[in-house]
Structure 1
Amino acid sequence: MNQKYSPAPLGEPADDDANRAERAERGSEREERDPFLTAMGERVRLLRARRGMTRKTLATETGLSERHLANLESGVGNASVLVLRQLAATLNCALAEVIGDETTASAEWLLIRELLHGRDQAALQRARVALAEMFAQAPRDPHRKDRIALIGLRGAGKSTLGRMLAQERKVPFIELTRVIEQLAGCPPSEIHSLYGASAYRRYEHRALEAVIHEHERAVIASPGGLVSESGTFNALLSHCFTVWLQATPEEHMRRVIAQGDLRPMSGNKEAMDDLKRILAGRGELYGRADMTFDTSEKTLADAYLQLRDRLAARLAAESPDDARVS
């Protein structure tokens, strides 16, 4: 378990932290904020949004105060190295991602950046697929197109449309969240509360590996935050044909409320803003899917028929050498 660090420097009372933060905030109003601290705060906010974590959740996981995190994200707080290390561990990313851009670390990285700079999305996707195949340690999965994985936020239609697809394709329908619960012996919410986010991510990866191993053909509904863990998401992309089910933030919220489930927005007065930040933070990751399908403003019947037809056309057209396109 990661050690929890106090935001107060050694030898200073923790109670002084709020006063120091207030003084720093007042000072920032009189002079321009440091660009480095501002950029770092934006990166922390983006990493948090990608994982669907509220500031309160991140504060609980790291042992820091919400006020300290708020100041850090706004470019006011000058966090210690220990605090940044704790944030990186909780967000499951390299410390370099919090402090700065890893791709500025060497001449080779800079040359690669220059080569890719200005390329359009299709060209970048081709480059990614080529690199993935170049460095792949295992042959291409021959059953990839037989496993359909639906990704997206809760309320996009993964469970409902997934069951309908599985029934027509005569394959098992698997909700990865249920597999995680079976492996852990408790609901995902309890995994988070008892063991933390890192333990949940391990169960999530194990659950996906188990499903891939046991099922050559299936329709899989994946948890919305799976895409934020690169190892697990890459495994999904390698072994499944992925479909991003999109919807507007308003449609997501309406459907979630209709289901009687407000997690993780319960008790949050800025639920819609949080939802929009999560969508913005994960949009580029969801965009790595083999295809996208917008379920907004469609009846269930229309959404299913259109999804079924588009999916059939894409699967028929795809060859082993095709690059993924959205």
Structure 2
Amino acid sequence: MNEQVEAVLLAPAEIAESEEKNPLLVALGDRVRNLRAQRGLTRKAVAKTAGVSERHLANLEYGTGNASILVLQQVATALHCPLAELVGDFTTSSPEWLLIRELLEHRDEADLRRVRVAIGELLGTAGVDAARHRRIALVGLRGAGKSTLGQMLADELELPFVELSREVEKLAGCSVREIHDLYGTNAYRRYERRALEEAIQIYGEVVIATPGGIVSDPATFNELLAHCTTVWLQAAPEEHMGRVVAQGDTRPMAASKEAMQDLKRILDGRAAFYSKADLTIDTHGQTLQQSFDALRSAVLPVVGAQNGT
């Protein structure tokens, strides 16, 4: 068989096993795949937005596609990130960036977290909100129980309850699905940021159930971490899927034949961001009441400490 024809017929994974790949292309593919997972987007959705074929994008993700700079720019736009972030070179943009990178290189996650918080305090973007401990924000993948447990917690604490996705719909004047279909993911993220900013401005005390993808935009997630006590509601992938299906909604995996694999990839891509939450509650194998008891036990000391009780 002609080598070119055979390469076309091979699946991306088979190509990956049949030839030695360039380390630069492999690293680029990993970044594309991870960014897509963090944003909860299917390969089909990114390919459509970027204006490239799914096969082309798959080859790029597997490190076998030598994409042009213009295609990379299209993919970066579809993933709502700068091209510099996609190619992994954004910290070479100035001498100060280089000096900062040198100080942070090889630091562990604990050190980097302390630096992030300290920078936020220095710049006045974090750690200065006195109401932070009275705003409780629940984060996690869809199906984690944020809406149900959030409403229960708000009732317990006698606080307002805000479901951020509903606020996004109010701002846009249409459903979340319609926002994505009509205007795209980037537009949805802008509405999400506005909805969060308005909730923070309006409520000094509140329980907020956030959309699963709120961690996809670093600026929005920084805003959340700065102004709210965040709680990550963890669950097993199978539990997430079961709850979402029970709700009659499998977005964004609705058209995928590999829904569970997609969900696991999204969870893996976002877990490192969810883990930045102040508190973590594992609801795996727990009843609703057990999950709520664990959430209440974790949150009450935080709220009580702020009130001096």
Instruction: Output the TM-score relative to the length of structure 2.
Output: 0.90
1:123 CA displacement? 2.6
Amino acid at match of 1:135: L
1:99 CA displacement? 1.4
Matched, 1:100 2:88: yes
2:159 paired residue number: 171
Matched, 1:234 2:222: yes
1:113 CA displacement? 4.0
SS of 1:244's equivalent? Answer: strand
2:179 paired residue number: 191
| Correspondence for 1:152 among 140, 143, 152 | 140
1:208 CA displacement? 0.9
Listed as ranges, the matches of 1:93-132 within 5 Å are: 93-103=81-91, 108-132=96-120
SS of 2:136's equivalent? Answer: strand
SS of 2:233's equivalent? Answer: strand
- State the distance in 2 between where 1:228 and 1:77 align: 25
Return closer, same or farther for 1:196/1:301 CA change in 2, 3 Å cut-off: same
Instruction: Output the TM-score relative to the length of structure 1.
Output: 0.85
Where structure 2 has 5 or more consecutive residues not aligned to the other structure, the ranges are: none
Matched, 1:58 2:35: no
Deviation digits for residues 217-238 of structure 1 (CA, Å, limit 9, x no counterpart): 1110011101110111111111
- State the distance in 1 between where 2:16 and 2:156 align: 60
Deviation digits for residues 51-100 of structure 1 (CA, Å, limit 9, x no counterpart): 00000111121121111101111111111111111111121111112112
Paired residues in the alignment total 302
- State the distance in 2 between where 1:20 and 1:101 align: 35
Identity %: 58
Q: CA RMSD in A?
A: 2.5
Matched, 1:210 2:190: no
1:277 CA displacement? 0.8
1:269 paired residue number: 257
Return closer, same or farther for 1:217/1:196 CA change in 2, 3 Å cut-off: same
Q: Is the 8 A contact 2:134 2:303 kept in 1?
A: no
Return closer, same or farther for 1:303/1:86 CA change in 2, 3 Å cut-off: same
- State the distance in 2 between where 1:247 and 1:30 align: 37
- State the distance in 1 between where 2:247 and 2:9 align: 45
Q: Is the 8 A contact 2:283 2:291 kept in 1?
A: yes
Matched, 1:22 2:2: no
Deviation digits for residues 279-324 of structure 1 (CA, Å, limit 9, x no counterpart): 11111111111111111111111111111011112444579xxxxx
